[in-house]
Structure formats: structure tokens, C-alpha cells
Amino acid sequence: MANAGIAALELLRAWVARTVPNEGGSWFEQQIALMFSGPTEKQLYIALGYAIRRLGKQDLDLNSEDLVAASTARPGWNPSDWSVDQAARLSFVLASDNDDGARFKARLEQLFRTADIGELITFYRGLPLYPHPRLHVARAREGARSAMQPIFEAVAHRNPYPMEEFDENAWNHMVLKALFVGSKLDPIQGLDRRSNPALMRMLCDYAHERWAAGRPVSPELWRCVGPHADRDAIVDLKQVLKTGTVVEQQAAALALQASSLPAAREALAEAPDLAKHAAAGEPGWAALAEAS
Amino acid sequence: MFVDSHTHMISRTTDDYERMAAAGVVACIEPAFWLGQPRTHVGTYIDYLSMICGFERFRAGQFGLRHYCTIGLNSKEANNEELAEAVMEILPRYALKEGVVAIGEIGYDEQTALEDKYYRLQLELAKELHLPVMVHTPHRDKRQGTLRSMAVALEHKLDPSWVVIDHNNEETVRDVLDRGFWAAFSIYPFTKMGNERMVEIVKNYGAERIFCDSACDWGVSDPLAVPKTAELMRRAQIPEEHIRKVTYENPLAAYGKSGQIKEEDWLNPPSIDQRTLYMGNSVLRGGQSPRIDEGKRGVDDNLKIS
């Protein structure tokens, strides 16, 4: 197991141990020992199957120290909304790894194939912790195509894996799909770093589709437009700046602020009050995501 | 509040989910069955089982219903031996999934030797995994098939209070109750039970170990059968506590033995579910008492199913 996986497994074990009462906790540790010893497939899926029955599904309720420990063990790892069954199941999966990448991948695929919805969420959330990250790209993309929003979000939200492993096409479609299914963009890690001109164009086209249908456009969309805006995009942003709701206007101003085109400066000059706040980074994309 | 303990929701539309939720159905159970035509590969069976504990559970949650399922090899497909053997191999992988409340629906169709073999094997699996059993009684030669289902379950030493005999009618109910099994009635136009007949049954037999379900599927069937029957019983002056047992408490008690379905699931769901899977309305949160008259909402005056 890679070092990050070992460190993550230690944290997961500690969190499970302090969350569940004694009896469940000792069952959990027995299973972990079994997983380290090289379990049969049946032993693994029985452990996974009994996880909720033995441990429940209460939140881990991690504190800020835990989250620092998480991101130290594995940069970008954010288990802030994980539950105990998820931690336990991923502990089993990680502990059963015996440094054979192909075998791990085959086993993980098998688990995905026969997973229930809670397990799907769990296994996708585990993506940043698995060894040989490259091997799981196709699987991660499958999750990002899901018609089930919680599955999609298990890949897209609070997960460093897509930012690190998705190519531009996969990335762009994940961001567009987030808007499409009504998921927020702000919890997507690397949103600003991975934005690109092709995505900017897809998003502006999507905004036009929404406008043509008389439907609202998420203010968050403009976040990935601003830094790569072309002249057409500036026209769109000017329109939003003039006629949008308050939140949309704030978003357009922030997007224009992120553009280096002179036309963007000119557009902002026409709305000095919004421009002043945007220059100070207010209200910020996280706040706009909350408000939208 | 109602529990519909037999629904094939994969065949139903979003309209049905909306109407069920509006009528007060809070939970539904999807028994693994055939699809109207037989499967020919274990792979399609795997995808089906994944679907009823995956996408369908998600879909129900979007409409505020909690969705559970049963796992099993049905009697019709038990007659394809090659398929049946392969399905038996994979059942243990699914039987412990979250929200699996029983092994079922299993039993007899034409009462063949293969049906008998796989029924027995699955009774043993239910015992091993401490799960209740949902028995599908045959449409043809029903009385004999029902008696045989029970005799075999008892031969395998199953506790009858862990076994639901489904699709009963006037001809089978007495035998089922006398032997200590749960007696479920599928309110289903044309082929099974009309709901006026159901009212008579509750009048005659009371509400102990009796409950009704819609068995709604791809055929002509009514996903509002449980709330409609409740209203019909109410108009027939059946006591409220009996109505509540027949449409809510009894299926909950029977399948609740699995530990996988609890009132808390919809009254006060775990935080993780509220964030991800269950878009329930927050009308009933912990401590509030459920209102029995909720079922009137969304049910029009055309109550009879026959």
C-alpha cells in the first residue's frame, strides 16, 4: 500500500473506533485483521455487507484537527461529511490491498458492479485513497456520468481525484454536468486551476440554451468563464451585469474581474458599485454558491 | 402513513411515485421478481438486482418514499436450471445489502421439481442470514400451492412469524393464519383481490398478522391500492387501529425483523441519508405523531379496485 493509503487507513480506523460502541468497534478491528491477512472475496464482501448492520451509519463528526490530519495524510482529502459505515468500508478495501495493482483494480471493479447505492457513494468517495490512481480513471468517469446525483457528487465534490486525473474533456463534462443536474460547483476541487477556454465556450453555449428556454442560469457558471472569456463571453457577462438578479450581477462582476481583456474593464466601469466589490473579491464564489 | 410492502416500482412512472407520496405512502418494498419475460443470462440478473438496490432506491427517495427490496430467485425463472444455478451463486452478495428486508419473492409457479429445489435452497439461505421470507403463492392451483409452500417452510424449520405468505384470497387466509404465518393480500384488479373483498376479510378475520399491498407492476395494477383500501375500510366502519395494522404496522413488523426497515427511516432519517438519498418532506420529524388521515390526500372518490 502506498504511504498515503497507510496514513489514511490509520485515520479511518481511529475515527471508526471512537464513533462506534465497544462491541461494534471490536468487530470492526477483527475484520481489519482479517483484511490484512489476505481475505477471500467472500470474506471481503461479508465484511462490507455487515458494516452498516454492525456499526450503523452515523456521521463521523470530524473536527478541524481531524480534517488537517486528513489533508496531511493525503493532500486534498476531505472527509468532512463522511459517515462511519463509509469509513469502515473503505478501511476494509484499503486493508485488503496487497500491493498488486491489477488485482486491487479487478476486486474494486467487482465491488462496484454489485454495489448498492450507499456502497457506490462510498467507493467513489474512496477514489483519492486507492493505490495506483491512474488505474481508476475509467471507473471515476463512470461515476461522473451517473444519473444519480449523490453518486455524481461522490466523484465531483470534495474529491481531489478528478482534478488530478481527469483529462480536459472529462473535466469539462464533469463541470457542465454539475450545472446540468443542479449540483453546486464550489465543492469541486481545482475548479479555478483546471478552467480552460474549451470549458468557457461550453458553459457560455449552455447559458444561451438555458436563456432560450427561459430558464435561470446558475451564477456559479460564470466562475469558469471569467479567466478565459473571449469577446462573445464578455458580451454575455455585460448582459448579466445589466439585467441579472443581484447574485447574478455579483457573479458577472467577479467573472469580469478575472478577465484580462480591456472589454472586461470597460464593462466593469459601467457598474462602479459592483466593480468595487468585485475588485475586493466580494462576496466571493463560495458565498455566491451558498446564495444560488 | 402507509407501507406498501409489494411494489415493482421499476415498472412505474414518476407520476405514480408522486401520487403515492401525496396519498401518504412513506415506504415501499420491491421484491425481486421476473420482468414479465424471462431473463436468459445471469448478467442481466446481476444488473437487475443492482438496480433494485441502486437506482430505484435513489429514484424513490427523490419523491420522498423510502425504498426497500427483497432478494431472491423467483419461481418462474427457477425453471431455467442453468440460470438458476448461476443466480444462486450471486444471491449471498445481494442479500446483505442495505435495505434488503427479506429473501423473496420465492415459492411455486407450476410446482415443478426445479421450483421446489430452489425454493428450499432459498429457505435455507434465509435461515442462515436471519432474514424473513416473502412467499409468492401461485396464481394457478393456488390453494394447494399455498399449503405446500407453508408445509415446506415448516419442514425446513422456519419460524412462521418470519414468513409472509403473499397474494392470499378468501380460500387461503384461514390456513395461513392458523399456521402462524403472516397473510398478505395483493389488491390487484382482475387476477388477485379486489379491495372490497379485502374489507370483508378484515371484518371477518380482524387485523392480526394480516396486511395488504398493491403488487403494482407492469400489468394493470394500482399503486394507490393501499391508501384506497384504507379509505374503503374507514367507510366500512373498520376500527382505526385495525386499518393501521393492515396498511402500516403489520408489514413493518413482519419485514422489520430483518433490522433493515424502521419507522425511524422516514420519521427521523440518519443525517447522511438526508444529505444524499432521501428527499423526504420534513412534515414528520422525530416526536411528532403520524396522522392517520394523511391517506385521504391525493386519493379521489373512485376507491374500488376489482
Question: Is residue B240's pLDDT more than 90?
Answer: yes
Q: List the Cα angle B139/B142/B144 in 5-degree steps.
A: 150
Cβ atoms B174, B199 nearer than 8 A: no
CA distance A10 to A104: 19
What is the structure's pLDDT at A4? Answer: 81
Choose the mutation target among A148, A153, A184 for the interface with B, i.e. most B CBs under 10 Å: A148
Pairing of strands B210-213, B163-166: unpaired
Please name which of B205, B138, B202 lies closest in space to residue B166, comparing C-alpha atoms.
B138
Give contacts of A 21-80 with B, CB under 8 A.
Answer: 42, 45-46, 49-50, 52-53, 56-59
Is B301 part of any domain?
no
Asked if B57's CB is within 8 angstroms of A117's CB, the reply is yes
* Tens-digit pLDDT string for chain A (292 aa): 677 889 999 999 999 999 997 899 999 999 999 999 999 988 998 999 999 999 999 999 999 999 999 999 999 999 999 999 999 999 999 999 988 899 999 999 999 999 999 999 999 999 999 999 999 999 999 999 998 999 999 999 999 999 999 999 999 999 999 999 999 999 999 999 999 999 999 999 999 999 999 999 999 999 999 999 999 999 999 999 999 999 999 999 999 999 999 999 999 999 999 999 999 999 999 999 999 8
Question: Using the beta-carbon criterion (under 8 Å), do B55 and A114 form an inter-chain contact?
Answer: no
Give the DSSP H/E element, type plus range, for residue A9: helix A3-19
| Residue in A with minimal Cα distance to B52 | A116
Contacts of B262 in chain A (CB under 8 A): none
Name every chain A residue with its beta carbon within 8 A of the beta carbon of B276. 121, 150, 153
Which pLDDT value is given to residue B134? Answer: 98
Cα angle A140-A144-A148, degrees, rounded to a multiple of 5: 125
Cβ <8 Å between B55 and A147: yes
Q: Are A231 and A263 in contact (CB under 8 A)?
A: yes
Convert the pLDDT of each residue in B90-126 to its tens digit.
999 999 999 999 999 999 999 999 999 999 999 999 9
Residue B304: inside a domain, yes or no?
no
Q: What is the pTM of this model?
A: 0.91
Residues B33-52 pLDDT 10s: 999 899 999 999 999 999 99
Helix (H, G, I), strand (E, B) or coil at A83: strand
Q: How far apart are CA B167 and CA B206, in angstroms?
A: 18
Please indicate whether, in this complex, the C-beta atoms of B272 and A59 are within 8 angstroms of each other.
yes
Which CATH number is B222's domain given? 3.20.20.140
Residue by residue, DSSP assigns chain B as -EEE--B-GGGS-HHHHHHHHHTTEEEEEEE----SS----HHHHHHHHHHHTTHHHHHHHHTT-EEEEEE---TTGGGSHHHHHHHHHHHHHHHTSTTEEEEEEEE-SS--HHHHHHHHHHHHHHHHHT--EEEEPPSSSHHHHHHHHHHHHHHTT--GGGEEEES--TTTHHHHHHTT-EEEEEB-TTTSB-HHHHHHHHHHH-STTEEEE--B-SSS--TTHHHHHHHHHHHTT--HHHHHIIIIIHHHHHHHTTSS--THHHHS--HHHHHHT----SSS-TTSPPPGGGGGTT--S-----
Q: What range does the domain containing B143 cover? A: 2-296
Contacts of A81 in chain B (CB under 8 A): 272, 275
User: What was the pLDDT predicted at A202?
Assistant: 98
Q: Other C-beta atoms within 10 Å of B158: how many?
A: 19
Looking at the structure of chain B, the number of domains it has is 1
**Which of B49, B54, B94 is nearest residue A117 as measured by Cβ atoms?**
B54
Q: Which of A243, A230, A245, A273 is nearest to A255 (CA)?
A: A230
Evaluate whether A251 touches A288 at the Cβ level (below 8 Å): yes
Percentage, residues of chain B above pLDDT 70: 92
Is A206 part of the contact surface with chain B (CB cutoff 8 Å)? Answer: no
Sheet of B210-213: strand order equals B2-4, B25-31, B66-71, B100-107, B133-136, B163-166, B182-186, B210-213
Q: Which residues of B touch A158 (CB under 8 A)?
A: none
Q: Using CB atoms within 10 A of its CB, is residue B22 exposed (0-12), middle (13-18) or buried (19+)?
A: middle
Q: Does residue B155 form part of some domain?
A: yes
Q: Do A114 and B57 touch (CB under 8 A)?
A: no
Kindly calculate the radius of gyration of chain B based on its CA atoms and give it in whole angstroms: 18
Q: What are the tens digits of pLDDT across the range A152-175?
A: 999 999 999 999 999 999 999 999
Question: Quick check: is B302 in a domain?
Answer: no
**The C-alpha cell that represents A241 in the structure block:** 451585469
Q: What's the pLDDT score for residue A5? A: 86
Q: At what angle do helices A168-180 and A137-144 cross, to 10 degrees?
A: 20
Considering only CA atoms, which of B162, B105, B95 is closest in space to residue B132? B162
Q: What is the pLDDT of residue B198?
A: 96
Q: Measure the CA–CA gap between B4 and A285, rounded to whole angstroms.
A: 45
Q: Residue B306 falls within a domain, yes or no?
A: no
